[in-house]
A and B are shown apart, each in its own frame.
Chain A
């Protein structure tokens, strides 16, 4: 049911010859799932791009479409149950509408993914080594021995002690942090140019989280890959991302450089996110400022701006446009900053009303 014309695909391949395009380009991606209850509009009109050596952080709450969009990049949605339009190009190759065969060549070779829970992402029945070897041999010539040597090399690279012994261990014999390292080794075994990390540290302790974030950055330097880091934790974003994309209700609501998003956010949802986190240096006598209400249903999204039912600034926009008209993703005040909001002068509001509370 993937509604993509043959033409689009050929067009994309023709375009791929230009070297100027970033490694990963997502254009007007819409992902919908028809269900018994209706159409789940998981991702709507999403566009972003990531170049080699860059890190894009995607932040959002559960159900904001951040995981669905990145799974689409690897073609992990069941075509029969998904309606997907738009274009995703990985290294110039079109992913939307590409068949299983073509996808298998891209997956693991050009692009790889690390998942949140390494225990469920690793097969409990096979040794760590066997699973890395499998990933390697799918895309490379060479006998089992070279593949095994490569697996040991990768485990060594991600910092597993005694890799030549641990390669024959099963996932349950590894600790949580080591499993995530093994996942990274498996993802990077074919030197993919794109690494998608979907909440890679959410299940880990802070000290281990710091280790894994270091490792991802180290691997990025080593292989010069583009990295997409999906997380709900602004702390992780602050630590690792160059560019940040904030998602809400399946749409991009704000995009800009990491420092700008953290210091001059222009969208009330981002203000809310910043206000609701406690941090290790903040004033503890001030209560946290939560975002009222709950995330929207994607079955029946709110009219107008998806955030308007929870937005405390919507009264500042005349004529109730927030609940009738979907704001465009337009350039913000600062360069390379996009924001989806009707507020006429968000930076002034931020400086005068919000900053005090958030920071």
Chain B
């Protein structure tokens, strides 16, 4: 659709074709598994089950690019982000950062990598220590990693504050003196302090007002261009993810169900869950032109990850489910520009691409039978 996006897509296909030439991806996650034990109450605290938060997830993030992780709450997207940053230890699987396995490194061995992988949190109120000044918050990473000599610290902090659009004179203030959007900028300055190559942004804008969300998204995009940072962008807002990431992975109950470039996912989604998710996203523009489109409505809630359904995990809410779905887990297979895990994958257009399409669809609505979904 857009020129910059095509460029990214091209560079990806090249990567796949000739990995030796263009080198390894910045981050390569393979079969990542993270289970949390469920302990019994009482003295012995025996393990009586496992919360299968992330179960066999694989993806890659290229240098300077972004991968979006979308899904509903409880699908494991946040856990994935935290395992990648090694805030959690993986149960199994590999995390390769620039070709080096970091999944099993201990604290000390991990130190040089922490500098390169940083995290931005969702809630700008609880992720900043209220008793530290902004200067301390932004300066601490540099102090810990000793990247900047003490006498240059203040200059560097002020430089960072300016980069994220805050007044550099405010280094002596406390987080409580800033608004939500400004606090999120402080969090971003802290993440930038060590010149990371990868930032895991976990719902970086969902706690902010709409008008402020756009400011922060634009800031992140500018920073990405300026410093060539790769992003693992975790969010539940489909529109924001589409805007930010050329490549998107859709997660459901600990697994990736569909992954591909922006247009494949949004224009011709193949997995029923992706279709349902896209179809539920409210679309202002469509409503403005008139005609609220028919929606796929999913019944019920996400099943418990302690005891996920056999076979395909989405089958309990899927209108296409048949016997095979309960028996066999569908593998992630390449179809066109995407990989999709479904026995009955087929394209369905759920969001209109252009205004012309929308108008056509509105007219169709009057005549054609509505989208029939069980």
On A, residues with C-beta under 8 Å from B are: 61-62, 161, 175-178, 205-211, 214, 232-236, 238-239, 258-259, 262-263, 272-285, 287-292, 294-295, 359
Separation of A291 and B287 alpha carbons in the complex (Å): 22
Contact A235 B209 (CB under 8 A): no
Whether A288 touches B2, Cβ cut-off 8 Å, given contacts A263-B288, A282-B285, is: no
Contact sample, A vs B, 6 pairs, CB 8 Å cutoff: A207-B72, A233-B282, A238-B286, A239-B282, A281-B352, A294-B212
Contact B5 A276 (CB under 8 A): no
Question: CB within 8 A of B276: which of A207, A282, A285?
Answer: A207
Closest 5 CB pairs of A and B: A235-B282, A238-B287, A276-B214, A290-B214, A262-B288
Question: CB within 8 A of B284: which of A161, A176, A279?
Answer: A279
A233 → B minimal CB distance (Å): 7
Separation of A176 and B300 alpha carbons in the complex (Å): 11
Whether A287 touches B5, Cβ cut-off 8 Å, given contacts A208-B301, A235-B284, is: no
Q: Is B292 in contact with chain A by the CB < 8 A criterion?
A: yes
Separation of A278 and B262 alpha carbons in the complex (Å): 14
Task: Count contacts between A and B, CB distance < 8 Å.
Answer: 152
Chain B's closest residue to A203 (CB) is B73
Residues of chain B within 8 A of A207, CB atoms compared: 72, 276-277, 280, 297-298
Residues of chain B within 8 A of A62, CB atoms compared: 209
Contact B301 A238 (CB under 8 A): no
Contact B284 A262 (CB under 8 A): yes
Residues of chain B within 8 A of A262, CB atoms compared: 284, 287-288
Q: Is B210 in contact with chain A by the CB < 8 A criterion?
A: yes
B318 → A minimal CB distance (Å): 12
Whether A281 touches B218, Cβ cut-off 8 Å, given contacts A207-B72, A210-B297, A288-B243, is: no
Contact A232 B210 (CB under 8 A): yes
Contact A290 B243 (CB under 8 A): no
A72 → B minimal CB distance (Å): 22
Contact B236 A206 (CB under 8 A): yes
Contact B288 A239 (CB under 8 A): no
Residues of chain A within 8 A of B281, CB atoms compared: 206, 235, 280
Residues of chain A within 8 A of B354, CB atoms compared: 281
Whether A178 touches B3, Cβ cut-off 8 Å, given contacts A276-B214, A280-B242, A290-B211, is: no
Chain B's closest residue to A272 (CB) is B211
Contact A238 B243 (CB under 8 A): no
Whether A276 touches B210, Cβ cut-off 8 Å, given contacts A178-B301, A206-B238, A285-B5, is: yes
Chain A's closest residue to B266 (CB) is A280
Separation of A214 and B295 alpha carbons in the complex (Å): 10
Separation of A235 and B239 alpha carbons in the complex (Å): 11
Q: Is B133 in contact with chain A by the CB < 8 A criterion?
A: no
Contact A206 B215 (CB under 8 A): no
Separation of A207 and B278 alpha carbons in the complex (Å): 9
A209 → B minimal CB distance (Å): 7
Question: CB within 8 A of A285: which of B4, B179, B285?
Answer: B4
Q: Is B213 in contact with chain A by the CB < 8 A criterion?
A: yes
Chain A's closest residue to B317 (CB) is A207
Whether A284 touches B243, Cβ cut-off 8 Å, given contacts A210-B295, A239-B282, is: yes
A161 → B minimal CB distance (Å): 8
Q: Is B87 in contact with chain A by the CB < 8 A criterion?
A: no
Separation of A238 and B213 alpha carbons in the complex (Å): 19
Contact B4 A278 (CB under 8 A): no
Q: B residues 1-33 with Cβ under 8 Å of A?
A: 1-5
Separation of A258 and B284 alpha carbons in the complex (Å): 10
Separation of A169 and B297 alpha carbons in the complex (Å): 26
Whether A284 touches B73, Cβ cut-off 8 Å, given contacts A207-B277, A290-B215, A295-B209, is: no
Separation of A283 and B4 alpha carbons in the complex (Å): 12
Separation of A291 and B209 alpha carbons in the complex (Å): 11
* 5 further A-B pairs in the complex, CB-CB below 8 A; given A207-B276, A283-B2: A61-B211, A235-B283, A281-B285, A284-B262, A288-B218
Contact A284 B283 (CB under 8 A): no
Separation of A291 and B211 alpha carbons in the complex (Å): 5
Separation of A238 and B301 alpha carbons in the complex (Å): 25
Separation of A242 and B243 alpha carbons in the complex (Å): 29
Chain A's closest residue to B352 (CB) is A281
A117 → B minimal CB distance (Å): 14
B75 → A minimal CB distance (Å): 9
Contact A206 B280 (CB under 8 A): yes
Q: B residues 263-280 with Cβ under 8 Å of A?
A: 266, 276-280
Contact A281 B209 (CB under 8 A): no
Q: Is B217 in contact with chain A by the CB < 8 A criterion?
A: yes
Contact A239 B297 (CB under 8 A): no
